[in-house]
Amino acid sequence: MFNNSPEPPYYAVIFTSRLMQKESAEYGEMAQEMGDLAKKQEGFLGVESVRGEDGCGITVSYWKTLEAIDRWKNDLRHREAQRRGKTEWYSAFSLRVCTVERDRFFAKSGAENESRD
């Protein structure tokens, strides 16, 4: 999604988290499964995710509508991942839902530059 975003407006879900301990294989498998499952959801536009060595991470997923976000929130397998996140993996997290009004992109080395206002 990094440089392939749709024309605004669309929605972003910003999930910021801190792992209780170093990332486990089980956590990594669940994160991969959730990413694969999200991509199959109607209204899913893309995702960007990073995690530092200190266990802090940010995942931003992009959605066409608020209804699509609500469907994803209530997906049964995703609900199970949410439950396990609270009980097994995260010491803290925050979730924010935002409207993307503008979208700009820049790249060096001869890559195309985009700007949307």
pLDDT (0 to 100) of residue 108: 82
Q: What is the Cα–Cα distance from 29 to 27, expressed in whole angstroms?
A: 5
Is the pLDDT at 71 greater than 90? The verdict is yes
Mean pLDDT of 94-117: 78
Tell me the mean pLDDT in the region 99-114.
78
Question: Is-contact 46 55, C-beta < 8 A?
Answer: no
Residue/partner pairs of 65-71 with CB below 8 Å, 24 or more apart: 65/11, 66/11, 66/97, 67/43, 68/11, 68/41, 68/42, 68/43, 68/44, 69/11, 69/13, 69/43, 69/97, 71/41, 71/42, 71/43
- Quick one: average pLDDT of 71-90? 97
pLDDT over 70 at 111, yes or no: no
